[in-house]
Structure formats: C-alpha cells, structure tokens
Amino acid sequence: MASVWKLGEATVDDVRGELPRRRRSAYNTVQTVMNRLVERGLLERERRGRGFVYRARYDEAAYLWRAVSERLDDASPDARRAILQKLVGRLSRSDLDEVTRFANRIARERRRDG
C-alpha cells in the first residue's frame, strides 16, 4: 500500500521496484498480494495493455482512520480511552497543539449544538 500511495498508481513491477533489493519478492508474490488487496477493496485495478495498473481506493489518512475507528468501535470504553491516551502521548509538540485546537473546537460546537 505504501508504494501505491507514494506512486499514485503502480504496476506490479513498479511496486517491486520500490522494495529494497534484499526484501524484493517474486513478481507473482507481489501480484498475488496486490490482487488480494483488490479483493479486500483497498486497491482498484485497470487493464492497460497486457497488464494492470493499480490505484488505492483510499488515501493513507482515510485508510488509517477506517482501520483505527473500526477497532475503537469494538473496544470497551476503558480500552478506547487507554489507546487514545497512548496515541496522543506519542504526538510531537506541534501535532499535540493541533489536536488540542481541534478538540477545543469540537467541544465548543457540541456545547453550542446542545
């Protein structure tokens, strides 16, 4: 997914080319993984010539939001609070400031909307 996000659209060869030489898998292995990502709805593909070009169906932020929110929805309130605290604790100072502003804005809107 990281290679497809970086490239915008990619063939199997493009993705293989992004992998470090020591970790480069066989063409068929990469193709199988990409086809499974198509089946899971994370990539889409379009035939071009004899092969396919793949694109992500979600940008990286949307994918992460979807994955994290699905897990948080199923978690208990205590577990949800604990993981959010750990995530916030890892933020840089500037990201923390941005999250604080965002949280304050949401709190004001919720008070206003009743």
C-alpha angle with apex 58: 89 to 8, nearest 5 degrees?
105
Determine the pLDDT at residue 114: 72
In this predicted structure, the answer to whether residue 102 has a pLDDT above a threshold of 90 is yes
Tens digit of each residue's pLDDT (9 = 90 or more) over 63-99 = 999 999 999 999 999 999 999 999 999 999 999 999 9
Q: Name the pTM for this structure.
A: 0.75
Range(s) within the chain of domains with CATH label 1.10.10.10: 2-56
Tens digit of each residue's pLDDT (9 = 90 or more) over 6-36 = 999 999 999 999 999 998 999 999 999 999 9
Half-sphere exposure (CA, 13 Å, Cβ side) for 18? 16
What six digits make up the tokens of 67?
């994955």
The CATH classification number of 2-56 equals: 1.10.10.10
How far, in Å, CA of 12 to CA of 62, rounded? 23
Which is it for strands 9-10 and 43-48: parallel, antiparallel or unpaired?
unpaired
Residue 54 burial (CB count, 10 A): 25
C-alpha angle with apex 91: 111 to 20, nearest 5 degrees?
135
